[in-house]
Amino acid sequence: MFKMNKAAGKKGVKLCAALLTAVIMITGCSSGSGGASDGNWVSIEDRYTVDPEKPAWQLDKKEEVTDLTWYVNADWWNTDFGKDIVTKKIKEDLNINIKFITGDDTKLNTFFAGGDMPDLLTVFDSNSPVVQKAATWAMPLNDLAEKYDPYFNKVAAADTLNWFQLADGKTYGYPNYSNTQADYDSGNIPAKTAFIIRKDVYEALGSPVIGTPEEFENVMKQIKEKFPTLIPFGFNSIGEGTGSLGDTLQDFIGVPLETENGEFYDRNQDEDYLTWLKTLNKVYRDGNISDDSFADDGTAFEEKVKSGKYATMLLDGTPQQGGNLQIYLSANEGKEYVAIDGPQSTKGNAPTLNQSGITGWMINFISKDAKDPAKAMQIFTYLLSEEGQLLMNYGIEGETYKKNADGTVELLPAVKDLQLHNADKFKKEYRMGEFMFFGHDRHKALSADAFPEAIKQMQEWGKGKLKPHFILENISPNQGTPEARALSAINAKWNSTLVSMVRAKDDASFDNALAAYKSFLGENRWDDIVKIRSEKMKQNKEKLGIQ
Amino acid sequence: MNGKVAKEDLDSRIFDTLNIILLVICTVIIVVPLWNVIISSFSSGKALAEGGFIFWSPEFSLENYRAVFNDSSIWQAFFISVSKTTIGVVTHVFFCAMVGYGLSKKYIRGRKLYVAMGVITMFFSGGMIPTYLLIKSLGLLNSFWVYIIPALFSFYDVVILMNFFRNVPDSLEESAKIDGAGDWHIFLKIFIPLSMPAMATIALFNGVGQWNDFMTTKLYITDQSLYPLQMMLYEIIVQSQTQSMQNIGGSAVIETTTKGVQLATIVITTLPIVLIYPVLQRYFISGMMLGAVKE
């Protein structure tokens, strides 16, 4: 019932309206929402001369501390700066002070409307107009590098820069966790998906193979008999998406990414995949999938992982669940989860597990209103360089980690101990692995400490099963188009359809749910969406140089 | 005759019984989840993870509350919440009462126009972005006063008060005037004391609103030292949803708060307003309808 009344005018109604319009026009236009100017190209003549062989932060002689505001479009971002080992070092090395602002899309809109842009900006959705129209409000990284810090080009991945190029041939944003083909080929990126089973359950059943739908069904029944307190099969929380029963399961059984002639393939209606959904439905009807699994949110799912409630899981995001799996393992030696081959394609396809793609995750920009774009650029270079990456992941050599003779990195015992036993304190004082604006998985491979013990076997299992999904990235219709609206309706429909199918009472209702989804596609511009997607896939292949 | 009375008696008894049953059901539907949140917030993580209890937790622990109160910012947020609510309510009620008092007098010039203007604001607002621009040009971004000034006036509350003041007999005002009282004196010494029920009603409305409001903070405040409790709660709840975010990058791990801490925060943020509510409740019941009917 709390209504904030907006400006109550003091004139007649018409006058009031006219005045309001005028005010909006004046404020809206005079603030020039970052569109009119071409950036704040400060001079660095009296500070330093650029050197392509040396990062600019080492050359910059600017005396006073540079204050920067950095907006992160996520409410969960930890806004502390300079209190922990990692950010303290950044603060000292670059002589900066960062004030973080967090928020969601609403807050982001107010920035653009109010014209008060922060110096740096991080967003998550590469399809959003903010990213697509970055040229209007952000400064091009290519020019920034040339003018202030050419060393940037040494530490940034060329493929990633190309991928983010806009129509004017320039790149404005740079992401973290962007994996190129070379990264996939190097074998340094760990898989993050696995079908896992509790070791005690697995051994009690005599290490069964769970490859075919029939085997899967039977093993679930056996689990129910022998371990009545456990839920035989679990999956990531459904929430807004499809948990791990959508793309993750499709990747797990190796559903093709494209049609034979390189066009968009509707993986949701793949026969192989539907066979497995039917199997899951049978398992559900046997009472071996819990109704709670569909209702649990992320937190509830995590609590179940922590307490080992599920006998088997199709888990996406093993590193994200690493902490919980580790907690469970520490308390239940010998009952830990292990990855096994699990469900296989009924058509003989090999798994094509997905990892973070070339689009990455958080995309970082320097805005045209940046007070000192040279400093901002130095931050990019610093965090992308080997030094910055090591700092972000492992802290400071001698203080928190040591380098071994073979080039690997090891956290010092005291630090490791804190990480395991007092996570809150570790987060406050060390904060390693969290300041991830330019993080990349390749540096995780340097250390045995990068991942908890609990998931190492799962990552080992996933070796050689990854396949880049680059061609499928950013192929949705542009935001604001009727097709984009139709697609979001379709996605929502698919989520509910998937749940209805797995929870169907009998084969007829399973088929009905699927048929309803198919007719929904027909009513919602599906053909147009497929066209757009095929077209965008073609463009992706051109960008990536794939034939 | 007698039979008729008995029949009415029976009818009303059936009606009352049905009413009571219905209300009990409604109450249970509301109370059980609340109770479950409170009990869960006092549970150990292990008990929460295993779940399965509704009314009583198998394992009590104060760990969640310890974790919340250990966070120094919660005290600051509590202070902000309390100050914004008290200052906001007092100023809001006083301001609306002044406007309502003025508009309740038939001899005010342009009264119809003012009322019409007010009514329009009840149905139309500038929208989020224009309001943001207004707040920005008023220099209220990142200022404590953004909680107070924009919330000073609500025409809805003015209407309630206006009707209430109208019900005060004119003769009271006239006799006071004859005794030499000025407008302020009459307003403060006669009308306000007589309208206490209405004031309390509006204070309660507005107080609950102020206490629960986090949108204002979300839009206009970036300085964490100005965060009220609700915003902290909002952030804690949102943190837990990060895991369900799509395409989480590679092996990036975001530590999220546990369910127990979330529940404890919910209890802490909701408790004060729940405690105050019954105190004002009696005014609320009498005041709500008092100004509604014109003589």
DSSP A54: S
**Tens-place pLDDT, residues A322-355:** 888 988 998 899 999 999 999 999 999 999 999 9
Q: Residues in chain B, how many?
A: 295
Mutate to test the interface with B, among A183, A303, A328 (most CBs of B within 10 A): A303
Percentages helix, strand, coil for chain A, rounded to the nearest 5? Answer: 45, 10, 40
Within 8 A by CB and 6+ apart from A373, the residues are A39, A40, A41, A42, A139, A144, A148, A366
- Closest alpha carbon to A62 in A375, A315, A399, A464: A375
CB contact (8 A) between residue B136 and residue A440: no
- Which whole number is the average pLDDT over A509-535? 96
pLDDT digits (tens, 9 = 90+) for A5-28: 433 333 344 444 444 444 444 444
Write out chain A residues lying below 8 Å of B137, CB-based: 27
Q: Using CB atoms, pick whichever of B50, B128, B248 lies closest to residue A317.
A: B248
Nearest CA in chain A to B126: A6
Q: Which residues contact B51 (CB under 8 A, 6 or more apart)?
A: A300, A303
B113–A12 CB contact, under 8 Å: yes
Find which of A110, A427, A443 to mutate to test the B interface (most B CBs within 10 Å of its CB): A110
Mutate to test the interface with A, among B251, B256, B273, B277 (most CBs of A within 10 A): B251
Residue A376: pLDDT band (50, 70, 90) is very high
For position B5, what pLDDT does the model report? 64
Q: In the predicted model, what is the mean pLDDT of residues A396-425?
A: 87
State the nearest Cα–Cα gap between A78 and chain B, in angstroms. 10
CB contact (8 A) between residue A2 and residue B212: yes
Least confident of A92-96, A115-119, A143-147, A466-470: A115-119
Tell which residue, A435, A544, A538, has the closest CA to residue A157. Answer: A544
Report the C-alpha gap between A221 and A282 in whole angstroms: 11
Q: Which residues contact A528 (CB under 8 A, 6 or more apart)?
A: A477, A483, A486
Residue A469 forms contact with B (CB below 8 Å): no
The answer to whether A298 contacts chain B (CB < 8 Å) is yes
Inter-chain touch A299–B262, beta carbons under 8 Å: yes
pLDDT at A10: 38
Provide the shortest C-alpha distance from residue A214 to chain B (in Å): 31
pLDDT of the residue at B1: 53
Q: Do A116 and B136 touch (CB under 8 A)?
A: yes
pLDDT digits (tens, 9 = 90+) for A383-399: 999 999 999 999 999 99
Angle made by CA atoms B125, B126, B132, in degrees to the nearest 5: 125
Chain-chain contact of A356 with B238 (C-beta, under 8 angstroms): no
Of B48, B122, B218, the CB nearest to A107: B218
Angle at Cα B195 formed by Cα B192 and Cα B201, nearest 5°? 115
Residue A258 has pLDDT above 70, yes or no: yes
Instruction: Give which of B247, B257, B259 to mutate to test A binding, by max A Cβ within 10 Å.
Output: B247
A439/B250 CB distance under 8 A? yes
pLDDT of A459-495, one tens digit each? 999 999 999 999 999 999 988 899 999 999 999 999 9
Which of A34-43, A263-272, A307-316 comes out lowest in average pLDDT? A34-43
Give the pLDDT score at B49.
66
Q: For residues A414-439, give the mean pLDDT.
A: 85
Q: Calculate helix-pair angle for A85-94, A386-394, nearest 10 degrees.
A: 150
A239–B244 C-beta distance less than 8 A: yes
User: How far B63 CA sits from the closest chain A CA (Å)?
Assistant: 14
For each successive 10 residues of chain B (295 residues), what is the average pLDDT?
Answer: 70 93 95 90 77 80 83 87 95 95 90 92 87 91 94 92 88 89 89 86 89 91 89 78 58 73 87 82 61 46
> CB distance B246–A297 less than 8 Å?
no
Report the residue of chain A nearest B48, measured CA to CA. Answer: A303
Reply yes or no on whether the pLDDT at A89 is more than 80: yes
Phi-psi region of A398 (alpha: psi -120 to 50; beta: other; left: phi over 0): left
Cβ separation of B259 and A303 shorter than 8 Å? yes
Contact B134 A2 (CB under 8 A): no
Q: Using CB atoms, which residue from B49, B239, B244 is nearest to A240? A: B244
Residues 211-230 of B with CB under 8 A from A: 212-213, 216, 218-219, 222, 224
- Tens digits of residue pLDDT in A27-43: 444 344 444 468 899 99
pLDDT of residue B50: 65
d(CA A462, nearest CA chain B) in Å: 14
Q: Does B247 touch chain A (CB under 8 A)?
A: yes
- Measured between CB atoms, does B138 come within 8 Å of chain A? no
**A45 close contact with B: CB closer than 8 A:** no
Contact B185, A38 (CB under 8 A): no
Cβ within 8 Å, pair A317-B256 = no
Q: Which are the contacts of A269, defined by CB distance < 8 A and separation ≥ 6?
A: A518
A14 touches chain B (CB under 8 A): no
Among B206, B219, B255, whose Cβ lies nearest the Cβ of A423?
Answer: B255
Handedness of CA A243, A246, A251, A257 (dihedral sign): negative
Rounded to 5 degrees, what are φ and ψ at A233? -135, 135
Q: Does B58 touch chain A (CB under 8 A)?
A: no
Helical residues (DSSP H) of A156-207, grouped into ranges: 158-163, 181-186, 199-204
142-161 of B, contacting A, C-beta below 8 A: 150-151, 153-156
pLDDT in tens, A208-257: 999 999 999 999 999 999 999 999 999 999 877 898 999 999 999 999 99
DSSP calls for chain B: -HHHHHHHHHHHHHHHHHHHHHHHHHHHHHHHHHHHHHHHHTB-HHHHHH---SSS-SSB--HHHHHHHHSTHHHHHHHHHHHHHHHHHHHHHHHHHHHHHHHH-TT-TTHHHHHHHHHHHHH----HHHHHHHHHHTT-TTSGGGGTSTTS--HHHHHHHHHHHHTS-HHHHHHHHHTT--HHHIIIIIIHHHTHHHHHHHHHHHHHHHHH--HHHHHH---GGG--HHHHHHHHHHHTTGGG-TT--TT-------HHHHHHHHHHHHHHHHHHHHHHHHHHHHHHHHTTS--
Q: Chain B 17-56, CB below 8 Å of chain A: which residues? A: 45-46, 48-51
In 3-state terms, what secondary structure has residue B177?
A: helix
Which of A5, A302, A436 is the closest to B252 by Cβ? A436
- Which residue in B122, B242, B259 is closest to A76 by CB distance? B242
- Which helix (H) or strand (E) segment holds residue A315: the answer is strand A310-316
Question: Quick check: A178 and A360 in contact, CB under 8 A?
Answer: yes
Cβ <8 Å between B255 and A1 = no
Mean pLDDT of A39-53: 92
Contact B218 A439 (CB under 8 A): no
Distance CA B219, CA A117 (A): 15
Distance, in Å, from the CA atom of A298 to the CA atom of A300, rounded to the nearest integer, reads 6
